[in-house]
Amino acid sequence: MNTSNENPILVTGAAGDIGAIGRTVTADLLARGHKVRALVRREDERAQALRALGAEVVLGDLTDLDSMHRAIEGVSRLYFGMSISPAYLEATVNVAAVARHHGVQAFVNMSQMTVTQMSATQTTDSPQHKLHWLAEQALAWSGLPVVTVRPTVFLEGFFLRLAANGVRERDELALPLGNSRTSPISSLDVARAVAAILDDPTPHIGQVYNLTGHESTDVEHYARAFSEALGRTIAYRDVPLDAWTDALAKAGVPQHVLSHLATMATLHKQGSYDRMTDDLLKLTGERPTSMVEFVKLHSSEFARAQAA
């Protein structure tokens, strides 16, 4: 299947922001010689940047049937990924129905590792986790040629977006994770795995890949990695969960997202993210990005506030 690049590969969420998997997948596939149709929600500078890379940019909404027909018609394979949203299940089924109608040959679905520990009788307190589990059930019933990717917590989430302010202003890694062990992974590594699957999907159809980071260890260890990478002492402070979620709510984080993040923090303390696999190495031939490497890559975003 990897010998023919005549049909474009659809990449959803191609614009993205911090830790955008779709944008990286687009660039990787283009570098491999594939045609890429990049789906974005709006016309802006990010869409223009995708065109500059060589992608065909289409505007559309994952929950809109007509726009998904325009996006999927003529593609051979697609990557489906969507940010945390109450509409996640609707979007998944909408895209799956149109993909089946057009005979898509490979459907790479971005899920979450927590789903591995869920079932019809066991869920979590996160509505998003339930939506991911239900979406995986629907895709299994669809008969589509699905490949499922389940990463653990993203470095760009808890250790950048949610922690950078504390590192910049107080030299502290302030997170509500207790003394739990966790194996966060960079979205760049996950994107490389997705691109490798889409490049030659046939051997992967029907498979589930659980992607973990460089190591599984406690946040005190990661604080020392921050210190090494930044050249100054960064201390870990275990923040009470209620205080953390209150601060996020005041910052305008939607309740659906807030509930998901709070559940993830609780599951960390229960050991749910203390996992390691070699699936990334099998898919890409590369080791996961370490915390030191990640912090160095984003050092400007962790620079002291007065020096930034």
pLDDT digits (tens, 9 = 90+) for 63-78: 999 999 999 999 999 9
pLDDT at 2 over 50: no
Average pLDDT score, the chain = 94
In which band, very low, low, confident or very high, does the pLDDT at 205 lie, cut at 50, 70 and 90?
Answer: very high
Average pLDDT over residues 133-149: 97
Q: What was the pLDDT predicted at 17? A: 66
CB-based contact 219:182 (threshold 8 Å): yes
The pLDDT tens digits of the residues spanning 6-62 come to 899 999 999 876 568 999 999 999 999 999 999 998 888 999 999 999 999 999 999
pLDDT at 171 over 90: yes
How far is the C-alpha of 272 from the C-alpha of 129, rounded, in Å? 13
Say what the pTM is.
Answer: 0.94
